[in-house]
Amino acid sequence: MKSIMFKTKIFHEGKMYLLVSDVAKLMEISEKAFCKKYSDKIVEIPGCRKCIAETDFNLLISDDKELFKKMGMLEVTKVETLRSEIASIISFQPLKFMMAKEYLNMMKIKTGCKSEQQYVEKYEIPKEFDEALQRFMNSHHDNSYYKSMINYLKNKECFDLDKIRELGLDIQYLSSITSDGSMTLEVFVVGKGIFYSVLEDDEGEQWNEIHIDEMGNIKLPYFSYYSDRVEERIINLSHTEVDRDFSRYNTVENIQWCIQNLNMKGIEDYEFDVLGYHSDAIDLRIHTDLLVKMIVPDAIDTIFTDQIIDLEKLVWITDVSDMRVFA
């Protein structure tokens, strides 16, 4: 029998939740009836409507044989956080203390500690904490694209910011940070009538070759490989269609203005972007999360800022000072 899978799960204040509307549908009762019957289990999460904790849902279906048979499994979602990593390390220490007493005694003498416990707390635990932090920072959310984009902007052979500013233009940023630490960075070249997205790629706009021609127009070379040919052309950034000076406003204000004043098109085969616009001087794609944030701010917890984030300094880490290793 095929198990039923919930498509939506919400991680809130250290717990996993399911939407009451999904659970009620599974149980084949109305949402109103479910809320009345299980009012003590309902939790209101901002932007997510009514929810029920995954653990409470498991208790419900474990008491209902028919529902459990229909569900096919319990809902147990593993959430990897630095806090859970550290809790796991601490819970393992007493076992290690029993199983490796001779080794710990040797290390106690070698390091001049008064006891095996002092050695573990002074040397073993900090080392394992550091390793856990590094594993977490180097996990699937290593934000390599974010770092790569910053390196691209610093490389004058690819993107010469000084040359761009000499032409009376500037750049703007839009960083996004999701609740799980995943980050993206969007960059725009801005000026009078110019709001142009910068992509890090061997193909596309050649920002290091931007120049002014004999007519005073700002020209941007473009080239791209296709399966059977090479496309080369010159983009005229001075061929503007609006008189707005985008450099006078921040990135989100500029995106909002584009939504309200330009004929934005839906992107058919999108993964992260839902709307886009392309012309000689204006080129942008609007991130789905950003669009939702503009419409219903509480519906999504992604943070947007018009700054570059220092990944080496901006690190959140669980406070472990009060955690005890031995009872």
pLDDT of residue 141: 56
pLDDT of residue 298: 66
Confidence of residue 195 (pLDDT cuts 50, 70, 90): very high
Confidence of residue 97 (pLDDT cuts 50, 70, 90): low
157-173 pLDDT, tens digit per residue, is 888 889 999 999 999 98
pLDDT of residue 245: 94
246 and 190 Cβ atoms separated by less than 8 Å: yes
pLDDT of residue 96: 64
Confidence of residue 317 (pLDDT cuts 50, 70, 90): very low
pLDDT of residue 219: 92
Confidence of residue 180 (pLDDT cuts 50, 70, 90): low
For the ranges 20-24, 48-52, 304-308, the one whose mean pLDDT is highest: 20-24
If one counts every other C-beta atom within 10 angstroms of the C-beta of residue 72, the result is 12
Does residue 299 carry a pLDDT above 50? Answer: yes
pTM above 0.75, yes or no: no
For residues 222 and 64, the model is more confident at 222
Q: What is the distance between the alpha carbons of residues 210 and 236, in angstroms, rounded to a whole number?
A: 10
pLDDT of residue 292: 77
Instruction: Spell out the residues 6+ positions from residue 237 whose beta carbon is closer than 8 angstroms to its own.
Output: 169, 189, 191, 194, 196, 210, 217, 218, 219, 220, 280, 281
Confidence of residue 5 (pLDDT cuts 50, 70, 90): low
For the ranges 143-147, 190-194, 284-288, 307-311, the one whose mean pLDDT is highest: 190-194
What's the average model confidence in pLDDT over 187-213? 89
pLDDT of residue 226: 65
Q: Which residue is it, tokens 């904790």?
A: 53
pLDDT more than 90, % of the chain: 16
pLDDT of residue 281: 93
107-144 pLDDT, tens digit per residue, is 888 889 888 878 877 887 777 767 766 665 555 456 77
3-state SS, 130-177, equals HHHHHHHHCCCCCCHHHHHHHHHHHCCCCCCHHHHHHCCCEEEEEEEE
Instruction: Spell out the residues 6+ positions from residue 25 whose beta carbon is closer than 8 angstroms to its own.
Output: none
40-92 pLDDT, tens digit per residue, is 888 887 766 788 888 888 888 777 777 777 666 666 665 555 555 556 556 66
Q: What is the distance between the alpha carbons of residues 298 and 251, in angstroms, rounded to a whole number?
A: 20
For residues 265 and 163, the model is more confident at 163
Q: What is the distance between the alpha carbons of residues 58 and 74, in angstroms, rounded to a whole number?
A: 6
pLDDT of residue 192: 93
pLDDT of residue 1: 40
Across the chain, what does the average pLDDT equal? 78
Structure tokens at 41: 């289990």
pLDDT of residue 102: 81
